[in-house]
Amino acid sequence: MKAIVLHRNGGPEQMKYESIATPEPGPGEVLVRTRAAGVNHVDIDIRNGISGMEGRFPHILGVDAAGEVAKVGAGVTQWKKGDRVAPHFVLSCGTCANCLKGLENICLRFDILGATTWGSYAEYFKVGQHHLVRLPDNLGYDDAVSAYVPFATAWEALITVGKLSAGETVLVNAAGSGVGSAGIQVAKLAGARVITSAGSDTKLKRARAIGADHGINYRKKKIGDATLKLTGGLGVEIALDMVGGDTLKETIKALAPGGRLVTVGAHAGEVVSVDFIEFFRKHISLHGCGRSTKAIAAQVLQLAADGKLKPVIHKRFKLKDAGEAHRLLESRTVFGRLVLNP
Ligand SMILES: [Zn+2]
């Protein structure tokens, strides 16, 4: 099969489009033909060797995909050739205490597709039979891969963990990111008022087009002050951050007394000095998450198929041009998802 193969860590030039042996599904495993793969920030971290999850070389990146079952291994009963599927990137063990409770997202012995195993930047990849979610019939592959991780992550953060309810005001940072643009839509669907932040007026304009009520350009205004101004000095009940660094500090300032901060990433600064006085004086709470369950994924895919959540695709690339897609994502001029089509 053709794949983007990494032989060492480094820049996009290390992503080689090569022929490599197609994986053979073992007992209980399923081989999937990739129709669309998403490009994620974590792919760049793994490429650079800074994700903390690096495996062995040669390696194939790609944590998410949509495609169809090409071949099943011995003992696979729930899938057949041609089934339309998406892999759940948390390759859970299926047997630990958390898996048995239906919390496979916090499995105690998991692999991550495209990090600790070969991923979806390839014509084929294999996963265990319980690592797949069925796609709704009327959801295309590009839309499915664009919807899956961003909407499932945003749903888990805002609804499951953040307990967002109708009428609340939400701050969603990084409007142009996959989870940011998804978070705006999930919050609106839940009946919230949405304030969002981004680094350009162009991104904020697009954010308003998908439902954001207010936009803050963080290059012109401080997120904390601007949010307080928009909320009559009160702040927001819930904030979704995936930026970290100084943005996280501003987000804490933006919270109302009793507010909840949910963090799903920290690409702009993973180590942040925070004054915890704010937390106990204002009764604010901090929650971390980032890996949804399969049940949440199935739910958001159905909402996308029903047109209630709209995947935002910035650009499609041929698989061989994956390096170009990485350069574009790193340029931070993207609004929505980058999709690779093998
Ligand atoms: Zn487990």
Segment 285-329, tens digit of pLDDT = 999 998 999 999 999 999 999 999 999 999 999 999 999 999 999
| pTM higher than 0.75 | yes
| d(CA 341, ligand 1 centre) in Å | 31
| d(CA 94, ligand 1 centre) in Å | 5
pLDDT of residue 55: 72
| d(CA 205, ligand 1 centre) in Å | 42
pLDDT of residue 266: 87
| d(CA 107, ligand 1 centre) in Å | 4
Segment 76-109, tens digit of pLDDT = 999 999 999 999 999 999 999 999 999 999 999 9
pLDDT of residue 310: 95
pLDDT at 219 over 80: yes
Segment 6-52, tens digit of pLDDT = 999 999 999 999 999 999 999 999 999 999 999 998 999 999 999 88
| d(CA 28, ligand 1 centre) in Å | 16
Report the distance separating Cα 142 and Cα 338, nearest Å: 10
pLDDT of residue 270: 87
The owner of tokens 């390759």 is 91
Which of 219, 222, 196, 221 minimizes the C-alpha distance to 207? Answer: 196
Residues 6+ apart with CB under 8 A from 50: none
pLDDT of residue 1: 98
| d(CA 27, ligand 1 centre) in Å | 18
pLDDT of residue 162: 97
Q: State residue 327 phi and psi, 5-degree precision.
A: -60, -40
Instruction: Find how far residue 150's CA is from the centre of its chain.
Output: 4
**pLDDT above 90: percentage of residues in the chain:** 92
Give mean pLDDT, residues 164-178.
95
Segment 253-269, tens digit of pLDDT = 999 999 999 999 888 88
Domains of the chain: 2-134+312-341 (3.90.180.10), 150-288 (3.40.50.720)
pLDDT of residue 113: 96
| d(CA 35, ligand 1 centre) in Å | 28
**pLDDT above 70: percentage of residues in the chain:** 100
pLDDT of residue 10: 96
Which of 216, 181, 179, 211 minimizes the C-alpha distance to 199? Answer: 216
pLDDT of residue 90: 94
For the chain, the average pLDDT equals 96
pLDDT at 217 over 80: yes
pLDDT of residue 254: 98
pLDDT of residue 192: 98
pLDDT of residue 336: 87
